[in-house]
Structure 1
Amino acid sequence: MVELWGGPAVLPVNPGYVASPVPVAVHIVSASLYAVLGAFQFSAGIRRRHPGWHRAAGRLLVLSGLAVALSALWLNQFHARPGSGELLYLFRLVFASAMLASIVVGFTAIRRRDVTRHRTWMIRAYAIALAAGTQAFTLGIGATVFGTGELSTALLSGAGWALNLTVAEWAIRKNRAPRSHTRRYAQHS
């Protein structure tokens, strides 16, 4: 952000970002809000003790999540870094669209009072959004092992999204399993 508004250059300059800094700023601010505030949405204690806060924060998170996904799509379409490659372009297109769809499905579910479906899709959206943090590791470690290049960068970025979604699916299934097991056990007793 500092760099966009005239501060010292830390990263290689992307002429598209300099010419049109608003989508980059929207992406950074909304992603930061989504990552930090979103973490509190998964606390069962906060949801139980402060349901009004959960709803209000959720509405803000839906808006910021949509801004993250839409700005990611915009940046991917109009400001892709030179040399990032077609595969990375495709991954970004797929995962930003998946995040957008997950938020819409999750929001629609809670409007119908389907809490389980809402939670499932919001977990997926959050996992996709946080992949940028995971990619710092997959790209950093992967570059040491596999080297840098268009294909390895795309695959290692994809690995960040895949890893996050794998953990999200595990968490979704883990949270469902004890309830169904408990119900079956109670019915047979």
Structure 2
Amino acid sequence: MTLVAEPRPRPEVRRRRPFWRKPWIIPLGAVVLAFLAFSIPPYTTLDPALARVPVPADSSVYYPALLAHIVFGAVAMVSGFCQVWPWFRGRYKKAHRVLGRVYVFGGVLPSGVAAFVVGTMSPFGPVGRVSLVLLSVAWVGSTVMGYLKARKKSYAEHRIWMIRSYTLTLSTITNRIWGPVCSIVLTPHLDTMFGGSEVALLYSVAGITNWLGWVLPLLVVELWLQRRRGARAR
């Protein structure tokens, strides 16, 4: 009697969704491009007087560090966008690896070091300085962790750390949102809450803005990551 082996079922092939089926990717790209188009031009003249933040007159390091932070930060924004774009990441794997190195070594690391220098000399008060310094440390730290996870081929953990890293990369955009909000809320209390001191008002607005700019997005992303983990476990 001849036994006939039953044909093995073919593994189900998961089709990749086209890029336009990811509704968040186009708005995210538009926001990144608009932010860069608005932020970079004043620094192309290399004139400290045109900087969008006050440049301390007694420091010869602040403005070069600010320029380095902005230039390398722009590299991180653009290359990081390609990294979190599922369609690009799945279709162009070699480019994903190359741009990943650009993001780490040509973007976040030099920009993060420059951000640390800028943070220690920020003209927006001690509360804002602490926030900027911690942000630069968290930004560089999460990026290094993501890179090391990729080297160890722990790609799931690599993706999680890089999501955190890019969230911190984009925190400079959310920082610009909170600034006007805090200013509108606190300015009417200039004479009461701040005793008429515009400096105290400026420090308070900058301090709150700097902390909310990166802590709140990172908290939202952490909650989303935990929710995904729980869903996968179930």
Could you tell me how far apart the structure 1 residues matched to 2:141 and 2:53 are?
Answer: 32
Partner SS state of residue 19, structure 1 = coil
Identity of aligned residues (%): 23
Corresponding residue number in structure 2 for 1:166: 219
Q: CA RMSD in A?
A: 2.2
Return closer, same or farther for 1:59/1:146 CA change in 2, 3 Å cut-off. Answer: same
User: With structure 1 as the length reference, what TM-score do the two structures score?
Assistant: 0.83
Larger of the two Rg values belongs to structure: 2
User: Which whole-Å deviations, capped at 9, do the CAs of 1:117-155 have from their partners, x for residues lacking one?
Assistant: 111111111111211110111111111012343123202
2:160 to 102, 113, 120: 120
The corresponding residue for 1:104 is 144
- Give the distance between the partners of 1:45 and 1:12, measured in 2 at CA: 37
- The correspondence for 2:173, drawn from 133, 143, 148, is 133
- Alignment-derived partner of residue 88 in structure 1: 128
Once the two structures are TM-superposed, the CA of residue 87 in structure 1 deviates from its matched residue by 1.2
Query: Distance between the aligned counterparts of 1:96 and 1:128, measured in 2?
Result: 9
| Matched-pair contact (CA < 8 Å) for 1:17–1:24 | no
**Structure with a larger share of its residues in helix:** 1
Measure, in 1, the Cα distance between the counterparts of 2:50 and 2:71: 19
CA separation of 1:22/1:11 partners in 2, compared to 1, >3 Å: closer, same or farther? closer
- Structure-1 separation of matches of 2:75 and 2:87: 21
State the structure with bigger RCO (CA 8 A, min sep 6), 1 or 2: 1
Structure 1: any 5+ residue segments left out of the alignment?
182-189
For the structure 1 residues 150 and 35, does the alpha-carbon distance in structure 2 shift closer, same or farther, using more than 3 Å as the test?
Answer: same
CA distance in 1, matches of 2:67, 2:206: 24
CA contact under 8 A between 2:182 and 2:208: conserved in structure 1? no
Residue 204 of structure 2 aligns with an amino acid whose one-letter code is: L
CA separation of 1:123 and 1:50: change in aligned 2, threshold 3 A:
same
2:111 partner letter = V
Aligned length: 177
What do the CA deviations read for 1:94-139 (whole angstroms, capped 9, x no partner)?
A: 1110111111111111111111111111111111121111011111
- Show structure 2 runs of 5+ residues with no match: 1-42, 188-200
